Structure 1
Amino acid sequence: MKWIPLVLMSVTLLTSCNTGKDQGEETEAADIPMEQVGKQPVGQTIIPGADSTGAVLEVVDDAYDFGTVKEGEKVKHEFKFTNTGSSPLIISNVQASCGCTTPEYSKNPIAPGDQGMVKVVFNSAGQVGKQHKMITITSNASSEHTMLHLRGEVVK
């Protein structure tokens, strides 16, 4: 039931952010007044050396196979990532697909070029068999949702 607020929030954001033109859509020449052709658009600041990619969350390895563990053992792993974009990366939420997996993450913005990590702890109690736990990172990155995967097998 934890996913219901995430779905509702996503639907609200998707429907409220529609401005009528898709991002990245080019303006036709007829839409630009003649006196502004070749000039910097009013209200926009151009920063030399900055590109328009915003924040980009680039994961070093998005999957971790913990092998075989005995039921009841806890598996810990840190997923590392880098902000390869030009804007600070802000992680708003990290959600695991199961209550047996607990994620931790920094609430502070990650500057361009800096690294961050998501720490996960998988409690294998009551989880006998093959396991595939998914962790979803929600952020302001160019790709809003990033999936991480924790795999392995739990034996009695």
Structure 2
Amino acid sequence: MKKYIVLLFVLFLIACSNSRKQNVITLLQDWEGREVRFPNHPVFTIQGRDTVNFQIEDKCKIITYVDSTGCTSCKLKFSEWKELMNTIDSLRPDSVQFLFFFFPKRGTEIYQSLLADRFKYPVCIDEEDSLNKLNSFPSDMAFQTFLLDKDNKVKAIGNPVHNPKIKELYMKILMGEETTGTNEGINLMTEVSIDSTSLYLGNFDWEKEQKVVFTLKNTGDNTLVIDAVSTSCGCTKVEYDKEPVRPGGSVDLHVSYKAEHPEHFNKTITVYCNTKASPLLLKIMGNAE
């Protein structure tokens, strides 16, 4: 199977409008089989402090690049990375290398996140942005993580800790399973109604946790199955009943938000389910004073 088929498969797993699809196709074609180049002698550290002897090896790799644009803590999600690394290592011990390159606008934010999440895997704080200068990565955060073969050539693109469908794709490739994009195992489609897709929490003390509920009602003819729910930031958590929802039934998404500091916020909850509109995008907004 051509590598482009694997890359194209990602196109149908990410949230993008019709107007954006052609740009995504062009991007995927451009990165098909491209070799990712690494700077000479990159320096890796543990939690941004202790330099370690960490060599880039001749094996499959998952490389993620985080630039200085936007909310750095929202992009990092170290706890999710630890979970993914443990899962892959349990299935394919010592066969996949993880590479983290950070080009921080404020280095302290990276260090604080590394310490807070107890992330002790080697990372490269690339203050000169040398990796990006060598490769000219896409500006879209969704396309700044890559699955590489042992020759550093791109097999798939997308962030597996931000999108559970990308994670599923990565796992299939790493386990040698077919990724033809067939409909086998896909749930029958249904329809969902939501009273409101965005909720305003108003002004509140930033130290006090806020809670809201989104209700999804199954208005279609088939069972509603929520495959996964992800959030744009670690400060936002979601709990819900994992049982399938019969036609006419509903499920509540209990969303909690705990600010890390005073801020105006606009956070996104992404719901992956068996509807044509999937993924569903929900928002919470407000002012943590």
TM-score (norm 1): 0.68
Identify the residue that residue 181 of structure 2 maps to in structure 1.
Answer: 17
CA distance in structure 1 between the partners assigned to 2:204 and 2:195 by the alignment: 24
Contact 1:68 1:154 in 2 (8 A): yes
Q: 1:119 Cα shift?
A: 0.5
**2:139 aligned with 1:4:** no
**Aligned-pair CA distance for 1:10:** 5.8
Higher strand share: 1
Give 1:142's aligned amino acid: K
TM-fit CA distance, 1:92: 1.2
Q: Tell me if 1:69 matches 2:204.
A: yes
Structure 2 distance, partners of 1:119, 1:9, is 25
**Residue by residue, what CA displacement relative to the aligned partner does 1:76-121 show, whole Å, maximum 9, x if unpaired?**
0000121111100000111111111110011111111111111101
Residue identity opposite 2:211 in structure 1 = K
SS of residue in 2 equivalent to 1:9: helix
Question: Which has a greater percent of helix?
Answer: 2
In 2, are the aligned partners of 1:89 and 1:140 still within 8 Å (CA)? yes
Higher relative contact order, chain-length normalized (CA < 8 Å, sep 6+): 1
Match of 1:112 among 247, 251, 256: 247
Tell me if 1:121 matches 2:256: yes
Does 2:262 align with 1:136? no
RMSD over equivalenced CA pairs, Å: 2.2
Aligned residues: 120
Kindly, what percent of the aligned residue pairs are identical?
Answer: 24
Answer yes or no: is 1:149 the counterpart of 2:287. Answer: no
Instruction: Give the CA deviation at 1:60.
Output: 1.1
Local SS of the residue matching 1:16: coil
Name stretches of at least 5 consecutive residues in structure 1 with no aligned partner: 20-52
Normalising by the residue count of structure 2, what TM-score does the alignment of the two structures yield?
0.38
